[in-house]
């Protein structure tokens, strides 16, 4: 067990911890490629206002639906909107929702999970029973009910997804904290009089980095898929705003027609994004795994 994660003097003797982690991550080829692909995808989507070939929602009814061509790389939909531009703008919403949900549910889940694991008692018990409850009802059904009640908008979608998403993180963090708090280095820290705050922040948190990083990447992936499913069912992002899920909802009507390619691209966008996120998660897990000593 390496105890170099803590802020002890031993760590300073080694080459920087961050550099070690970076080195391991960079050696993970697929993860690095995924990071580059995802970063490019995000930059392209969020720079859509400058680089999208056509302005958002610009209709060209004379063109109507058309196949991919030099003018429109991914074709146009029934209103003659350039599909590539639409995908870039929709990507902003899909990606933003995915990231926001991941950040929110990671923070809430980590804090509650750490409390449940470190403090325990009736509070910890209560937190874990609440996470049990969420296992009993299908998330998609609960989300649809919440969004139908609150009214769907990107903000309510983020809140609803995070309200359900934190439970996974809380379980994982709690389990990890339960095992960490009995380790020798924590006992030693307590023995020399370290406060709870110090133990949590400088001894537990660095050791939790692995599970938190992997959990966050999982949260991004599942949030993007959940959002697209909700939007497909009609409870997610509503027109005139659109996400990749909303686009798929509309494209579902083209199955079996000559415009079926409209179904391919938003789905591919989701697939590529989630694949990249998952590979990055794998890379992070391997890089941050404290059991891994060989570089």
Partner 1 sequence: MLTFIAKRTLYSVPVVFVASFVLFWAVRATFDPLAKLRQSTDPEALDREIARLGLDRSIPEQYLLWLRSFVTGDWGTSTRTGTPVVDLIGQALWPTAQLAFWGLLVAIVISGLISVYSAVRQYSVGDHALTAAAYIGIAMPAFWFGLLLIQFLALWPKDVFDLDDPPLYFIGLHSIDQGGVVDYARHLVLPVATLVIAFVAAWSRFGRAAMLDALSSDYVRTARAKGVPRRQVIWRHAVRNSLAPFVTVVALDAAVMIGGLVVTEQIFAIPGMGRLFLQSLVAGDVFVLLPWMIVVAVAVVVCNLVADIGYALLDPRVRLR
List, as one string, the DSSP characters of the chain: ---TTSSSHHHHHSS-HHHHHHHHHHH-HHHHHHHHHHHHHHHHHHTHHHH-SS-TT---TTT-SB---SSSTT-B-TT--BHHHHHHHHHHHHHHHHHHHHHHHHHHHHHHHHHHHHT-HHHHHHHHHHHHHHHHS-HHHHHHHHHHHH---HHHHHHHHHHHHHHHHHHHHHHHHHHHTTSHHHHHHHHTT--HHHIIIIIIHHHHHHHHHHHHHHHHHHHHHHHHHHHHHTSSS-TTS--HHHHHHHHGGGTTSTTTHHHHHHHHHHHHHHHHHHHHHHHHHHHH-TT----
230-249 residues near partner 1, rule: CB under 8 A = 232-235, 245, 248
Q: By CB under 8 A, which span of 19-27, 43-51, 63-71, 145-153 interacts with partner 1? A: 145-153
- Say whether residue 155 binds partner 1 (CB under 8 A): no
Nearer to partner 1, 155 or 201 (CB): 155
100-139 residues near partner 1, rule: CB under 8 A = 129, 132-133, 135-139
- Say whether residue 35 binds partner 1 (CB under 8 A): no
Contact residue for partner 1 among 96, 140, 175, 194 (CB under 8 A):
140
36-55 residues near partner 1, rule: CB under 8 A = none
Closest CB 160 distance from partner 1, rounded Å: 11
- Say whether residue 74 binds partner 1 (CB under 8 A): no
- Say whether residue 83 binds partner 1 (CB under 8 A): no
- Say whether residue 148 binds partner 1 (CB under 8 A): yes
Contact residue for partner 1 among 173, 250, 278, 280 (CB under 8 A):
278
Q: By CB under 8 A, which span of 72-80, 113-121, 197-205, 222-230 interacts with partner 1? A: 222-230
Question: Do 173 and 219 meet the contact criterion of CB atoms below 8 Å apart?
Answer: no
Contact residue for partner 1 among 13, 61, 62, 141 (CB under 8 A):
141
Closest CB 277 distance from partner 1, rounded Å: 8
Separation of alpha carbons 290 and 77, rounded Å: 50
- Say whether residue 33 binds partner 1 (CB under 8 A): no
Contact residue for partner 1 among 229, 238, 286, 290 (CB under 8 A):
229
Among 87, 54, 80, 52, CA closest to 66: 80
Nearer to partner 1, 52 or 139 (CB): 139
Where on the chain is the footprint of partner 1 (CB under 8 A)?
129, 132-133, 135-141, 144-146, 148-150, 221, 225, 228-229, 232-235, 245, 248, 252, 255-256, 260, 263, 267, 270-271, 274-275, 278-279
């Amino acid at each position: 067990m390496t105890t170099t994660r803590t802020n002890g003097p031993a760590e300073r003797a080694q080459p920087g911890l961050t550099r070690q982690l970076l080195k391991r991550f960079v050696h993970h080829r697929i993860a690095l490629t995924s990071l580059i692909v995802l970063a490019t995808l995000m930059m392209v989507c969020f720079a859509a206002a400058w680089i999208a070939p056509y302005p958002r929602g610009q209709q060209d009814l004379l063109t109507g639906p058309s196949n991919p061509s030099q003018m429109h790389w991914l074709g146009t939909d029934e209103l003659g909107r350039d599909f590539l531009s639409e995908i870039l703008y929709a990507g902003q919403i899909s990606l933003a929702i995915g990231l926001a949900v991941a950040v929110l549910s990671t923070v809430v889940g980590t804090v509650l999970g750490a409390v449940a694991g470190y403090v325990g008692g009736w509070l910890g018990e209560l937190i874990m029973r609440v996470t049990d409850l969420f296992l009993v009802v299908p998330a998609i059904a609960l989300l649809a009910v919440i969004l139908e009640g609150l009214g769907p908008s990107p903000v309510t979608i983020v809140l609803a997804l995070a309200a359900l998403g934190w439970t996974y993180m809380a379980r994982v963090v709690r389990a990890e904290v339960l095992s960490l708090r009995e380790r020798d280095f924590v006992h030693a820290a307590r023995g020399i009089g370290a406060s709870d705050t110090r133990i949590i922040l400088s001894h537990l948190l660095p050791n939790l980095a692995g599970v938190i990083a992997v959990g966050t990447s999982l949260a991004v992936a599942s949030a993007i898929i959940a959002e697209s499913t909700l939007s497909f069912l009609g409870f997610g992002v509503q027109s005139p705003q659109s996400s990749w899920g909303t686009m798929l909802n509309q494209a579902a009507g083209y199955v079996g027609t000559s415009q079926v390619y409209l179904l391919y691209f938003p789905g591919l966008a989701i697939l590529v994004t989630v694949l990249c996120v998952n590979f990055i998660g794998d890379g992070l897990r391997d890089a941050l795994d404290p059991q891994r000593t060989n570089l």
